[in-house]
Amino acid sequence: MRLIICEKDNAAKRISDILSNGHFKTEKRGRVPVYLFVWENERTVTLGLRGHIINMDFPKSYNNWSAVDPIELIDVKPERMVSAKGIASVLSSLAKEADRVYVATDYDREGELIGKEAVEYAFGSGQLEKAMRAHFSSLTPDEIRRSFSSLGRMDLHLASAAETRQIVDLVWGAALTRFISLASGRLGHDFLSVGRVQSPTLALIVNREKEISAFVPEPYFRIEALLGRDGLDFEAAHVEGDIFDQGKAKEIFSKVKDAKEGVIIDVKERERTDRPPVPFNTTQFIRAANNLSLSAARIMSIAEDLYTNGYISYPRTDNTVYPRDLDLRKTVDSLAKGPYMEAASHILSKEKITATRGSKQTTDHPPIYPTAFATKAELGRERFKIYDLVVRRFLATLHDPCRVKVTSVRTDINGETFTSSGIRIISPGWRSVYTMSVVKEKELPPLEKGVRVKVEEISLLDKETKPPRRFSQGGLIQEMERLGLGTKSTRHEIIQKLYSRRYIEESPPRPTLSGSALIDALEKHARMITEPDMTSRLERDMERIANRELTQDAVVMESREMLRKVLRTMEKEKAAIGRDIASALKEQDVVGKCPRCSNDLLLVRSKWGKRYVRCSRFPGCSKSYPLPQKGKITFSGNICEVCRSPMMTLYSRGKRPREVCINPACPGKRAGTGGSEGEKGKNIKGSS
């Protein structure tokens, strides 16, 4: 029997379908589907893994953070452990029957390692040389058949490069995570994490926030006028635009402030062509969907759901060029219904459909595009928003350019020049379907050289320069991509991790006190881990391992020595690092004043992970409050008027946030004057 191993179930099914010409049988082994068919007269079974089935970790004896000096971890050899037990046991039972094994995981570094792990686990490392490897760049019949008729061998050097990354990430991540957590006394549920990708990402947010708070606004002036002609008003601005010299601004303004009339100097018209947008890769998709006010992680989980249900293509891709074998016409044709009818028909009416191309072309997956038509009723509101975005973007990439007429007018007012512009869409082209991108039209009255216009209003505006903006989640993902941090599959998860560690809050994300304190400490004592260079350097080394110019051992050894130096210097500063972080954390955890002794009340976690509030003077003062264990809570600093306890804001899905007293025994609640009981009553009434 032949065994084909794929990276995921979806690919396994597709490959079985292609190699068997549709004559395959699906069987479930427990909860794991496998696909059986006859290929070249031999019984064949295909299994889809779920990515990595092996994870690297330290031996159990190093599990106790308090008993192991983090510096010891540097020289511990990580172990491989099965992380997907169900799949692994199906794999080994299939391996008993198989006499030949074919690796058909994704054709990239991680795919090579995923395949190697599976073969090694099921057949032993002796079989690695014998395994056949299919190299394909898309799951299309031609490509799959080609790859299975020209099989190669596994590239163990490529797999070794991926393994090197695993080791380096684990050793640095675990050692620094433990060191920082121990130094600041944060153990158990509230540990502080450090990593090659998460820490530079957090540093981006923290440093942007520093720029914002250090920003000194600079005053400037603008002179703007409202002009009129034939009963139609239009705006004009002084040609100098932003004027930073107050004397100059006042001088110009005094010349024009009493003007009643202006004269048109000239009118210029030109046509602008806005090219359609390029196909969606993951980053641009998240950026666009981020405007629908969803978190990056939520967007990706909806996309995953749409993908597994067959509505859109694979959502994790860097590619921005449709592959040649994607049948654009057929895809458009399948969408020519409902709200997409008009755009789709227009595209189909073209003799040749041409698509825009982005600057990144890869061969692993196509850009994100719709694979089936669906309605809002089928998908529900939220899923439809994402699906609709993908469909409209896809159609836009095949549509016509948008043509815009831009009119520039110069007007003389008492010897000063003012400019105005008119914007009119001649033909909307792709914008008729990609309604997320809007050009604001501006109307001008009919004007020509020498025409007199009325000055309706003229003003000197006081302005201030603005600080740089915070990163949106989408903007952050784009910046991470630019810096080479993380991958298409992990960037959104990294951001989510920063939220769950309470390093950042709100959206757009802002650093918390602990997030800032952590970055301050790391930048001071372990700068390397906060910079994207660590990733680019690792990338270079991995490339050289794959090319046989370097060995895994050499890279890992050098990395270990570097970490040893870092930890040794940090060890000397341990007390100071701990103090800095701990004091920020303490400040962050203060939720109000104790009504009994007026010391700080702290948000804390018990040994078992339960959150509650207690007095900072504990055990001297025993005041404490239980908290709801689920859902997000924030503390505004407000105090309950009835019992003087702090108020908290509860956020639950699908409901409006509500502010209630944290004291479950608050007399205000029983009386129904704004406590949670009263609120509950309202909600029940509202929903029935």
Partner DNA sequence: GCAAGGTC
Q: Which is nearer to DNA, 370 or 422 (CB)?
A: 370
Stretch that binds DNA, among 135-143, 186-194, 433-441, 562-570 (CB under 7 A): 186-194
Phi-psi region of 389 (alpha: psi -120 to 50; beta: other; left: phi over 0): alpha
Binding of DNA by 674 (CB under 7 A): no
- Candidates 233, 412, 493, 659; binder of DNA (CB under 7 A) is 493
Binding of DNA by 237 (CB under 7 A): no
Place of tokens 């889809």: 48
132-133 and 100-104 as β-strands: parallel, antiparallel, unpaired?
Answer: parallel
- Closest distance to DNA from the beta carbon of 314 (Å): 8
- Candidates 152, 188, 380, 672; binder of DNA (CB under 7 A) is 188
Binding of DNA by 408 (CB under 7 A): no
How many angstroms separate the CA atoms of 654 and 328, rounded?
A: 39
Is the peptide bond preceding residue 619 cis, with omega within 30 degrees of 0? yes
Distance of CA 563 to the CA centre of its chain: 29
**Within 278-317, which residues bind DNA (CB under 7 A)?**
304, 308, 316
Listed residue (607, 611, 605, 608) closest to 662, CA to CA: 611
Q: Which is nearer to DNA, 10 or 472 (CB)?
A: 10
Told to judge if 314 belongs to the known catalytic residues of this protein, a careful annotator would answer yes
Binding of DNA by 191 (CB under 7 A): yes
Binding of DNA by 612 (CB under 7 A): no
Q: Which is nearer to DNA, 59 or 681 (CB)?
A: 59
CB atoms within 10 A of CB 438: 8
Binding of DNA by 642 (CB under 7 A): no
Query: What is the total count of residues that contact DNA (CB under 7 A)?
Result: 56
**Within 431-490, which residues bind DNA (CB under 7 A)?**
486-490
- Residue 50 corresponds to which tokens in the numbers above? 């779920």
Q: Which residues contact 386 (CB under 8 A, 6 or more apart)?
A: 289, 292, 294, 299, 302, 303, 306
CB atoms within 10 A of CB 169: 16
- Closest distance to DNA from the beta carbon of 160 (Å): 15
Q: Which residues contact 365 (CB under 8 A, 6 or more apart)?
A: 138, 313, 314, 316, 317, 319
Binding of DNA by 165 (CB under 7 A): yes
- Candidates 137, 164, 181, 514; binder of DNA (CB under 7 A) is 181
Q: Which is nearer to DNA, 429 or 509 (CB)?
A: 509
Binding letters toward DNA, positions 520-559, x by CB under 7 A? ---------------x------------------------
For the residues of 597-658, what is the DSSP string, one character each?
T-SEEEEEE-TTS-EEEEETTTTSS--EEE--SSSEEEEEEEE-TTT-PEEEEEE-TTS--E
Residues of 660-679 as b/e, b for ≥16 C-beta within 10 angstroms? bbbbeebebbeeeebbbeeb
- Where is 46: in which H helix or E strand? strand 42-48
Listed residue (617, 572, 265, 312) closest to 408, CA to CA: 265
- Closest distance to DNA from the beta carbon of 60 (Å): 9
- Closest distance to DNA from the beta carbon of 528 (Å): 13
- Candidates 1, 132, 187, 483; binder of DNA (CB under 7 A) is 187
Binding of DNA by 383 (CB under 7 A): no
Strand partners, 420: 409
How many angstroms separate the CA atoms of 484 and 493, rounded?
A: 15
How many angstroms separate the CA atoms of 246 and 331, rounded?
A: 59
How many angstroms separate the CA atoms of 182 and 358, rounded?
A: 47
**Within 195-214, which residues bind DNA (CB under 7 A)?**
195-199
Q: Which is nearer to DNA, 61 or 293 (CB)?
A: 61
Binding of DNA by 110 (CB under 7 A): yes
- Closest distance to DNA from the beta carbon of 193 (Å): 3
Binding of DNA by 163 (CB under 7 A): no
**Within 30-59, which residues bind DNA (CB under 7 A)?**
48, 50-53, 55-58
- Candidates 1, 84, 451, 582; binder of DNA (CB under 7 A) is 84
Half-sphere exposure at residue 477, Cβ-oriented, CA atoms within 13 angstroms:
30
- Closest distance to DNA from the beta carbon of 341 (Å): 32
Binding of DNA by 319 (CB under 7 A): no
- Candidates 147, 193, 283, 552; binder of DNA (CB under 7 A) is 193
Stretch that binds DNA, among 95-103, 161-169, 261-269, 284-292 (CB under 7 A): 161-169
Q: Which is nearer to DNA, 51 or 475 (CB)?
A: 51
- Closest distance to DNA from the beta carbon of 168 (Å): 8
- Closest distance to DNA from the beta carbon of 35 (Å): 14
- Closest distance to DNA from the beta carbon of 70 (Å): 8
**Within 59-78, which residues bind DNA (CB under 7 A)?**
62-66
Binding of DNA by 122 (CB under 7 A): no
Sign for the CA dihedral angle at 485, 488, 490, 493 comes to positive
In 414-540, beta strands by DSSP E = 416-427, 452-464, 504-505, 510-511
Q: Which of 102, 107, 311, 314 is catalytic?
A: 314
Task: Please check whether residue 601 is in contact with residue 590, taking contact to mean a CB–CB distance below 8 angstroms.
Answer: yes
Residues of 639-655 as b/e, b for ≥16 C-beta within 10 angstroms? ebebbbbbbbebeeeee
How many angstroms separate the CA atoms of 367 and 322, rounded?
A: 6
Taking the alpha carbons at both ends of the chain, their separation in whole angstroms is 61
The DSSP secondary-structure symbol of 365 reads S
Stretch that binds DNA, among 191-199, 445-453, 544-552, 663-671 (CB under 7 A): 191-199
Q: Which is nearer to DNA, 9 or 580 (CB)?
A: 9
Binding of DNA by 121 (CB under 7 A): no
Q: How far is CA 635 from CA 3, 126, 597, 638, 662, in A?
A: 57, 59, 19, 8, 10
Binding of DNA by 26 (CB under 7 A): no
- Candidates 46, 177, 331, 512; binder of DNA (CB under 7 A) is 177
- Closest distance to DNA from the beta carbon of 387 (Å): 17
Stretch that binds DNA, among 108-116, 220-228, 390-398, 575-583 (CB under 7 A): 108-116
User: Which residues are the active-site residues?
Assistant: 314
List contacts with DNA (CB under 7 A): 7-10, 48, 50-53, 55-58, 62-66, 83-84, 106, 108, 110, 114, 165-166, 169-170, 172-174, 177-178, 181, 187-188, 191, 193-199, 304, 308, 316, 486-490, 493-494, 497, 535
